[in-house]
Every structure is written in C-alpha cells, then in structure tokens.
Chain A
Amino acid sequence: MSDTWVLGQRGLRETLRTPDSLIPTLFIPVFFLVVNVGQAGKIFPSGTTPFLEGQNYAAFQLPSSLLLAASFGTAALYLVEDIEGGYFDKLRAAPVSRTSIVLGRLVAEGAKNLAITAVMVLLALPFGISIATGPLGFVLLLLLTAGWAVVFAGFMQLIALKTRSAAATNAGGLVFFPLLFLTPNFVPRDLLTRPMEIAATFNPVTYIMEAMRSFILEDWTWSRLGPGFAVVAVLGVVMVVLNVRMIRTYD
C-alpha cells in the first residue's frame, strides 16, 4: 500500500512537471461544451424541456465534457516513456508488488482527474449550473468521474504494456469516440432513435453519464447513481487485474 503511494507521488510529480499536458485536457472538453450548448441550447429551453429539470442545457451537457476530460489516459503515455527509457525495468527490479506498480500510476491519474473535474465544475457554476444533490453530490460526482479516468487509463496501459509503442497507445485511445458518443449524449436515452438506444444500452459509459447527470439535475436517485458506480467498480477491478497479469508475464 505504501509502495502504491510512493509511486503515486512520483506520478503526480510527473504531471506537475509537465503542466503543458494539462492544456488539451482542459481546453478540448470546455470547447465541446461551449460549442454543443451554443448549437443545441435553443432547441432545449429550460422552461419547456422536462428532462432539464429546470436547469439549462449546459447542465445536461456538462457530464459529457467531464467524461471527455477523463478520457485522455495520459498515464499510459507516461508508461510508454518509462518502458522506452528503461525506467520501467528499474521499477520491475524492485521487490514491490506488481499491483503497486499498476496502481501507482492509476492513483496519480485519479488524483489528477479529481482536480481537473473540480475545476471544470466550479467554472461551470457561474453559468447557471447547480448541483441538485448539493456538496455531497459534488464530491461523489468527482469520485465517479475520477473512477472513470482510472478505468480508461487502465485500459490504455494495457495497450501500452502490450505494444510498448506511443503511437499504438495513442491510437488505442481513440476508442473514447464510440464510448463517449454512443451514449445519450445530446438527449436522454428514451428520446434516442431505436438503433442508438440499443447501442447506448450496451455501452457501459451510458450508465456513468446518467449517474453524473443525476447528481446535477435530480434529487438523490439511487436507481440511476448505483449503476454508474457499479460499472466503474467492476471495470476498475477488471483493468487492475489485467494490468497486473500483463506485468507478471512481461518480458
């Protein structure tokens, strides 16, 4: 456990020393939020759109942007650098559990995403967005989003460990496209066309997005929050197990 934390601190140090890498992580999601709301906001006026629960369309769109910000998987690109530079071998030569080696990076990625999500939500508050579930909901919203960031980074790390190539890892990151867009991204699930609805129902990210929305738009609704956390927990465990297996058999 303490090994995980020691390695996590190193991961955070790495992030703080490459602040440039945070710019796209913040800028691209905010850009999408502004553009999407600017284009579709008029179709969904807050007074007459039931699914907005009295808030504006930006409140509905915010979770998509938060998920986008959580789907960069930067940890995996740093991992490729470690592998290429040989530092990964130095870590592997230390008598620490392989789980700590995996979790160290993921903890750092989670912590970084907590900060990014908090900044984005706080920036959104002055634009008429409020968190219906209050401060506790805000905290859980951050944790859920960070959980997804960890899952996604874990997935990208698998590609990094398998291919040991930055180009392949970057390319693998493009799965965020189907994952984030085959979702009830612009309207709730029951308003989607039938094929879209089916696709969204099979996409695990849908449940995370719906839970995040629920924190922002509704009073505590565990039937929507629960599945989101369940998806993150299950995928999180799967990713860690697969990563550890991959490092054990790494040659």
Chain B
Amino acid sequence: MTAAVEAQRLVKHFGGRGGTVEAVRGVDLSVSKGEVFGFLGPNGAGKSTTVKMLTTLMSITSGTALVAGVDVAADPDAARRRIGVALQEAGLDPRQTGRELLVLQARLFGSPRGEAADRAQSLLELVDLVEAADRRIKGYSGGMKRRLDLASALVHEPEVLFLDEPTTGLDPASRLTVWDEVRRINRRGTTVFLTTQYLEEADALCDRLAIIDGGVIVREGTPSELKSQLRERQGLAYGPTLDEVFLDATGRTRERIEGEVQEVHA
C-alpha cells in the first residue's frame, strides 16, 4: 500500500535581495492513508512552505514528494486531482457568491454544470452556509470565509486534504464544528494533513504528528508516544502535555519564555 504523503529530503530556498532563506531544510515525511496527520511548529518554521510544495503551489528546490502516489513535481495535474487544499489565508473571491465560487471550483475539477450545482448545494449544507449561499463573499465573516474555503477544498472528494491552520481566528464553537468536520471527512477515507498552532487541537484530532522547527523535523510520532518519550527522558513524575513536548522540541522552554517576557517588560 502506498503512503498518502511521502516526502524525501524536501528542501526549499527562497532567493531574495537579502540573500537566500532556507525555509525548509531536508524534510522527510511519511503519512499513511486514512490518517489525520498533524504538522506543528513555531511561526516561520516552514509549515506553510512545506504544504505549498506538497500541493504543487510552489516549486521544490530539491527532494521528492509523492502525494496519493503521484510525484507532485513530475505530474502536477494528476496530483491536483487527488489533493484538496485550504491554505492559511482563505483564498476567496469577494465578488462572487459562495455558491458561485463552489460551482466554479467544481467545474474546474471537471464536473459538468448540473453536477457542479448539486455538489455546491451539498457542500453548502455541510458547512452550514445555505442561508448565505447567494450573498457575495465580501460580506461574509471570517469564520464563514474559512468554512467556505474548507468546502471549496472538498469539491472533488480529494484523497488527501491539506489544511493549513484551519481553525486560526475561529470562535470556540466554530472551531469545534471544524474539528467535527475534519473527523467526518477522515471517516469517509480522506487522509488529512493539518497544520496548527493549537496543541490541544493536535491532541484531539491527530493520529500522528511531526514538529518542525527551523525547517527541519525535530519530533515525530503519535501524541502519546511523544509525551511518554519526554516523560522518560526527563524522569518526570507526571504525564507531560503536548505543550511541554512542543516547548521541549523547539528549545523554547518555559523558563526562557518567561525570561524573555520579563526583559520586554523591564
């Protein structure tokens, strides 16, 4: 059985006036079919860059990436048919209505007109946007936009769904709705690759996760594996939280963060 995502020594350099930025420096990833995979890391760690490379939206400096068994660099269109992606910044067109946007997206993925309309309707129901469906997206709230963006990533029932911080900026109720949604999508057999800043989200949703820092993977495993590793290594008497795993992995200890905060206040 091929993996849903298989990346080897993935590298991304950005050339700019101020020299090259090495955003991703040799990332290996292996996500099994049917998993919800969490991809964590501090700001600027290279999460979004990795997601964009895996979803054909950005060229790969070196290394290879197979998604749903397709080499994304060699055959991007075949990969695109199997991938759904909702990026960190919801990419919507404010002048269309929610329904128009979904119909257009479904048609670009090959559905004929009638089928696209049906698909749009069922997705609108799924993300609870039926009432707002025929209003322009310009007037949607942040949470509505996120939900519409999520729906638009699902028009073609992708095998692998990439969600880059899907719950950032959502109220607690909407966040739970998205969690339910992710679980439901996953139950239907879609592999989910999800980045997040919220560790309780990773804990609640993800079967396995990787932590990236400075462009390299620093931890990988199931949430409980990672927690018990830390517990053993530090000889802790209590079970650490995923937050502690994260802080340990990224070298941002509580003490240091508190120290930094004090300096700022001084």
What is the interface of chain A, defined by CB distance below 8 A to chain B? 3, 6-7, 10, 13-14, 17-18, 82, 85-96, 249, 251
Contacts and interface: CB of A to CB of B under 8 A. Distances in A.
A77 B55 CA distance: 26
Nearest to A90: B91
Given A10-B96, A13-B96, A249-B59, A95 B91 contact: no
Nearest to B85: A93
Contacts of A18: 95
A95 B90 contact: no
B130 interface: no
Interface stretch (B2-10, B103-111, B230-238): B103-111
Contact of B108 (A6, A17, A251): A6
Nearest to B83: A93
Contacts, number: 67
Q: Which of B87, B92, B95 has the most CB of A within 10 A?
A: B95
Interface in B87-121: 87, 89-96, 100, 104-105, 107-110
Contacts of B95: 13-14, 17-18
Given A251-B58, A251-B59, A88 B91 contact: yes
Nearest to B109: A94
Interface of B: 14, 55-59, 77-78, 80-81, 83, 85, 87, 89-96, 100, 104-105, 107-110, 136, 152
A87 B109 contact: no
Contacts of A85: 89, 91-94
A90 B98 CA distance: 14
Given A85-B94, A86-B92, A93-B56, 7 more contacts: A13-B96, A85-B93, A86-B89, A86-B90, A93-B57, A94-B105, A95-B77
Q: Which of B78, B105, B107, B110 has the most CB of A within 10 A?
A: B107
Contacts of B136: 17
Contacts of B105: 90, 94
Contacts of A96: 108
A65 B108 CA distance: 37
B35 to A, nearest CB: 21
Nearest to A3: B108
